[in-house]
Amino acid sequence: MLASLDIAIIAIYAIALFGIAQWVSREEVGHAKNAKDFFLAGGKLPWWAIGASLIAANISAEQIIGMSGSGYAIGLAIASYEWLAAITLIVVGKFLLPIFLKHQIYTMPQFLEQRFDRRVRVLMATFWMAVYIFVNLTAVLWLGALAANTVGGIDLNVALFGLGAFALAYSLYGGLRAVALTDIIQVVLLIAGGLIIVVILLDKLSQGEGLLTGMSMIMDAAPEKFDMILSKDSPHYMSLPGLSVILGGMWVMHFSYWGFNQYIIQRALAAKSLKEAQKGILFAAGLKVILPIIVVLPGIALFVLNSNLESPDQAYPTAMTLLPAGLKGLAFAALLAAIVSSLASMVNSVSTLFVVDIYPSLKRAAKPEQAVGLGRAVSVIAMVIAMLSAQPLLGKFEQAFQFIQEFTGFFTPGIVVIFVLGIFWRKTNATGALIAAVSSVVLSLLFKVFLPELPFIDRVGAVFVLSGLLAIVASALEGKDQHNAIVLGEMNFVTSRSFNVAAIGITLIIASFYVIWW
């Protein structure tokens, strides 16, 4: 249970976050908030806000609780989702951002219409909205409520609705600006809270002998938890199938998430400039290197302390109960920071997709003075739907993180095919893009039904190749360059010396982790 000191710390955090969000959202006298202000923070985000917001949007309940649960069940191998993401971010910053920012888009479906046609735009916008509401929002709400119930004894329904309501309250007025400019606070709190939990757990294991002793004890007690590449005889091979993790389908999932996902890339689209966006991407990649300490190591440590939890996803909340008063409140506030930031980011992206991509197809484009109000209304509706859906959809799953990855894996191969071929092959047409989207789902279902023994990461890789071939064949039948194709020769892919040096450094550090813990 939370002590009075813990409750006071959490209350101070909530009040401060709300106040700062409203302060940074204010407009100059005589300027009414418009669509670009609400959806893209006025196109004025600095690099530190972009980088922090990328991490805050990504690291939420399903990451902290879900990945700690997978750390408890599987081990350090689950950190591939973090470390390979850092390399993906570098590639996105160097080769994809120049293209997206040159097209001056609000949304990724908007880019797809410029490259293909309106059918592709509406299809992908509808898909992303459905995933954000019924997968991402529900997962964050449910796992956040689970943590609040475990640590603070708060009723699950009360916690679930409270988290959603607070996320709306602090972000609804300012939109993306309120979220992004407060995310540096969220990230600092997230890292501080996570490190506190790691320190306490390691100290408890070593019985006061120090952090290095605690770490050594974990590695001696559970060496199997430090295998980065799982062998076929591992009970978790289906989740992380050996070398396929670093050579196959996980890259498809990473590029879909970090390169072509509205919820994530929207921060970079709101940058002051391309250089500022690239610095922000690099900042996020650097943070990704250290995040497994915060989101995976606690699960492994708790496995050594207590290997009899009813569910792996109870690992992080259980670790929080071991903290003394005051520190427990700080750690809980850090978890809340991650949760509400992700919730606010998601509903803002849902509203952006609806107002910019869907609404014009239903009626006509919203007038500038209507867009912000419509966006706020959509945010509220999306959050309410997710609140009502969270427990029915996720209440029965033991490892929510793995569920999310496998579910989204039905769609990600087609998404990556559409963008990669659309950007790098001038003959790719709208028919090929639509076939890639549909075949991704159909082929994934066929693999799931008729080859259930195939690990889902391998399935993602196989479906990516097959969907890509179908899209290539469909486009080749027309056999001509598309008039709206991307002219790569007009793009500037040159990055600064500091970007290149940092990118090489991050890549070498991550490669060394795989060498050490092979």
Mean pLDDT confidence for 484-511: 93
283 vs 243: which has the higher pLDDT: 283
Determine how many CB atoms are found less than 10 A away from the CB of residue 11. Answer: 12
Mean pLDDT confidence for 357-373: 75
Rg (CA), the chain: 22
Confidence of residue 446 (pLDDT cuts 50, 70, 90): very high
Q: What percent of the chain has pLDDT over 90?
A: 46
**Residue 45 pairs with which residues in a beta bridge?**
271
Domain assignment present for 426: no
Supply the DSSP string of 70-125, one letter for each residue: HHHHT-GGGGHHHHHHHHHHHHIIIIIHHHHHHTT-SSHHHHHHHHS-HHHHHHHH
- Does the pTM surpass 0.85? The reply is yes
Domain assignment present for 197: yes
Domain assignment present for 458: no
C-alpha–C-alpha distance, residues 302 and 114, integer Å: 50
- Structural domain of residue 367, as residue ranges? 46-408+487-516
C-alpha–C-alpha distance, residues 450 and 445, integer Å: 8
Least confident of 77-91, 308-322, 389-403: 389-403
Domain assignment present for 233: yes
HSE on the CB side for 259, CA within 13 Å?
Answer: 29
What pLDDT score does 447 carry?
A: 95
C-alpha–C-alpha distance, residues 294 and 349, integer Å: 26
Identify the DSSP state of 271: B
Mean pLDDT confidence for 247-270: 91
Domain assignment present for 459: no
Mean pLDDT confidence for 302-313: 83
Whether the per-residue pLDDT at 30 is higher than 60: the answer is no
Whether the per-residue pLDDT at 110 is higher than 90: the answer is yes
Tell which residue, 67, 74, 171, 92, has the closest CA to residue 404.
67
Mean pLDDT of the chain: 88
What is the tens place of the pLDDT at every residue in 77-88?
A: 999 999 999 999
Q: Which domain CATH number covers 149?
A: 1.20.1730.10
Domain assignment present for 471: no
| Tally of domains within the chain | 1
Give every CB contact of residue 145 below 8 A, 6+ residues apart in sequence.
Answer: 154, 156, 157, 159, 160, 163, 390
